[in-house]
A and B are shown apart, each in its own frame.
Chain A
Amino acid sequence: MKKVYRLKDLDCANCAAKMERSIRKLDGVNDASVNFLTQKMTVDAEESRFEEIMDEVVKLCRKVEPDCVICR
C-alpha cells in the first residue's frame, strides 16, 4: 500500500535525503521518498503492518530532524 503524507517544518534538504535512506531500510517498506520541495513523503509498505511501520517511520524522522512533523 502506498500513502502520501504532508510534512511540516522540514527545513533541511540533507535531512530529507537522510530520512529517505533510513526509511527505505526499514523492514516491510518497499519504497519511500521524501520530497523536500513539495514537503511530502511517500511510503510504500506492507499493507497488513502499515500503521506499525508508520510508527517506526515517525520515530526515525524524529531522530534525523526533530522539528519535522509528519501529518498523519
Chain B
Amino acid sequence: MTRRHKLTLARILIAFALFIAAELIPLPGIWKLCAFLVPYFLVGWDVLWRSLQNIAHGQVFDENFLMSVATIGAMCTGEYAEGVAVMLFYQVGELFQSVAVGKSRKSIAALMDIRPEYANVLRDGESVEVDPEDVAVGEIIVLKPGERIPLDCVVTEGSGSVNTAAITGESVPRDVTVGDALVSGTINMNAVLRAQVTNIYADSTVARVLDLVENSSERKARTENFITRFARVYTPAVVFAALALALIPPLALGQPWATWIHRALVFLVVSCPCALVISVPLSFFGGIGGASRRGVLVKGSNYLETLSKAAAVVFDKTGTLTKGEFHVSAVHPVGMSGEELLALAAKAEKYSTHPVARAIAAAAPAETEENPADTVEELAGLGVRANIGGRRVLAGNSRLMEAEHIAAQGGEGDGTVVHVAVDGTYAGFVVITDQVKEDAAPTIARLHRMGVKAVMLTGDRRVSAQAVARELQMDEVLSDLMPQDKVSALESLMEKTGGAVAFVGDGINDAPVLTRADVGLAMGAMGSDAAIEAADMVLMDDRPSRVAEAIAISKRTMRIVYQNIVFALAVKLTILVLGAAGYANMWLAVFADVGVAMIAILNALRAMKVDGVGQ
C-alpha cells in the first residue's frame, strides 16, 4: 500500500464510523440528512470534485460522474443511508482494486526482473562496482557466486556452473569453463569467474530481452481492442438506458417516479466498465510474463492470441528439428577400404567449412593430417577437385559425377551423400546425416494431441527430408526449397490451412519466412539479432518442445481472457436485468462491480503461473 492508499483507507474508516453514528442516533427530518452528509462528503468529496472538473472538460461519462449522480439521486429520493453506503463501498472497491492491480503488476514485473544492478569491473588491478551501462567491450569483469551476470562475456579464468533459467527457462545448470560464452541475465552459481565483455549493456541479451517484453503490451490483441471499444459504447448505452428507465415508465404508464428513478440509479452504478478494461490486458500481461519465465519471449499479446489459434506449425528442418550437427552414418567404398575412402574425402574437403565437410573430417582416420592435398579447387554447388599425392580426387554430389561422366552408385537413402572418384574411377560414397533432436518427436506428438498439424519445410533433398519426417510423424513435408522459395511455399500452405500458421526457424536464411507467417517463432535466439528482429516470438533455447509449451501457454491465457470477459459481462447483465425488475438495489450493484473486478484480477493473475502448463 502506498501513502495515498493509507490516507484513503483512513478516510474510509472515519467516514464509516460517522455513517454508523448517523444511522444510530435518532434525529428528526432535515437533521438526519445533515448527519449523513458529513460522512458522505468526507468519503466522496474527491469523486464529486472530479466529476465537476470532468463536466467542465466535457468528459461526461466518467465513473466519478456516474457515482455522483447515483448517490445524489439516492439522497434526493430520501434514501440517505443508501447514498452514503454506496459511496463508501465504491471507495472501498476502488482502493481494493488499486492495491490489487498494483500488487499483481509488481509480481508480474518481478517475474521479468532480470536486470543486473551492477558489474564488478577489473580496472587497474582492482575490482570496481559500476553500472553495467558503463562497461566497455573488452573489459574484464569479475563474477562472484550467486551474482547475476551483467553483460554478455567470455570466461577467461575459472570454471563453474551457470543457472540460465531466467533467460532460457532451462533449470539444469550449465557447466562453463575458460573460453565459454556467458549470457547476461543468467546467474553464476558457485565459483568466482573472470570474463571478458563481448557486448555493451544495450546490446547484451538481458537488455534485449527486457526491451522486448516491456514493449509487448503495446501490440494489442484483437480481444483487447474489442474490450476498449466495447467500453466506449457500453457506458453511454447503459446511461441512456438508465435515463429511459427513469422517464418512460412514470411518464407513459403513470408509475411512481421514486421507484423508477431508484432502478435507473442501479443502472448507473453498473455502467462502469473498469473490471473489463483492466482484466483483459492484465491476463495477457500475465501470460506474457509467465511465458518469458519459460524462455519464450512474446513480442505482443496479438501474437499470443494468434498462436492460440494455430492450426498448423511449420518447422524448418536443419537446426530446428535436427541438431544441425552432421555425422558420417555410412561409408560405401568401391575398390578400396572404407578408411582410405574417408581419408581421401577428408583431405579433399579439408579447407571447406561446410558442416558436411566437417563431419567427414571428424570421422576420418587420424593420419589424414599427414600428406595433405597439394591443390584444392572448389566447384560451387558441386564439390571439390583436389590433387592428393599425384592422384586426381573428386568429391561432391551426384551432379559433379555426372559432369565428369562417372557412373555413381547409391545416392538413394537418408542424409547427404558425398561421392568420391579417383583418377576418373568411381571410389564410393559417404553418407552424412544430421541427428534429430531428442524432444522433437514428443513435441510433434503433443502438437497432434492439441489438434495442430506439423509441417516440415526444408531446402534438403526429398529423400533425406522424408526420412526425418517419417521418424517424427510429420503431417506434410515441403523439400528441395531454395531460400527464396520458402516464402511462397509457406504462403500456399497458409491458403490451404484454415487457421493461423506458425513458423519455427532458427533465423538463419529464413527471416523472410518468419516475417510472413501469422506467427514467426525464432529458435535458439540467444545472440542472433536478425532472428529477434524478424520473429514475433523468440524461444531462448533451441528445444522444439518450447513450441508446444508456447502454444499451451497461449491457449491457457486466452481461456483466462475469455473467462474474464464472459464472467464480467454475465454478472453486469444479470444485475441490469435484476435492477430493471426492481430486485437489485444499489448496494448489490456496487458489490457486483467491485467483486467482479477483484475476481477478474485474481483470475488474470493465474495466467502468469505457467509451471506445469508446459508438460
Contact = CB atoms under 8 A, between A and B. Distances in A.
B59 A35 contact: no
Interface residues of B, number: 27
Interface in A30-45: 33, 35-40, 42
Contacts of B97: 11
Interface in A1-40: 9, 11-14, 17-18, 33, 35-40
Contact of B273 (A14, A38, A40): A14
B53 A66 contact: yes
B218 A33 contact: yes
Contacts of A42: 218
A11 B94 CA distance: 9
B59 A13 contact: no
A64 interface: yes
A63 B108 CA distance: 29
Given A13-B281, A14-B277, A63 B57 contact: yes
Q: Which of A9, A13, A63, A64 has the most CB of B within 10 A?
A: A13
Contacts of A37: 105, 108, 217, 281-282, 285
A14 B217 contact: no
Nearest to A12: B274
Nearest to A67: B4
Contacts of B231: 14, 17
Contacts of A12: 63, 274
B50 interface: yes
Interface in B274-292: 274, 277-278, 281-282, 285
Contacts of B54: 63
B147 interface: no
Contacts of B109: 38
Contacts of B98: 11
Main secondary structure of the interface of B (DSSP, over half): helix
Nearest to B58: A63
B50 A35 contact: no
Interface residues of A, number: 19
A63 B218 contact: no
Nearest to B54: A63
Given A38-B214, A63-B53, A63-B57, A13 B285 contact: no
B278 A13 contact: yes
Contact of B277 (A13, A33, A35, A39): A13
B161 interface: no
B563 interface: no
A14 B274 contact: yes
Contacts of B278: 13-14, 36
Interface string A50-64: 000000000000011
A68 B425 CA distance: 83
Given A17-B231, A37-B108, A63-B53, 15 more contacts: A9-B4, A12-B63, A13-B277, A14-B63, A14-B274, A17-B277, A18-B59, A33-B218, A37-B217, A37-B282, A39-B105, A40-B214, A63-B57, A66-B50, A66-B53
16 contacts: A9-B2, A11-B98, A12-B63, A12-B274, A13-B101, A13-B277, A17-B277, A36-B278, A37-B281, A37-B285, A38-B109, A38-B214, A39-B105, A63-B57, A63-B59, A66-B50
4 closest Cβ contacts across the A-B interface? Answer: A13-B278, A13-B277, A14-B277, A37-B285
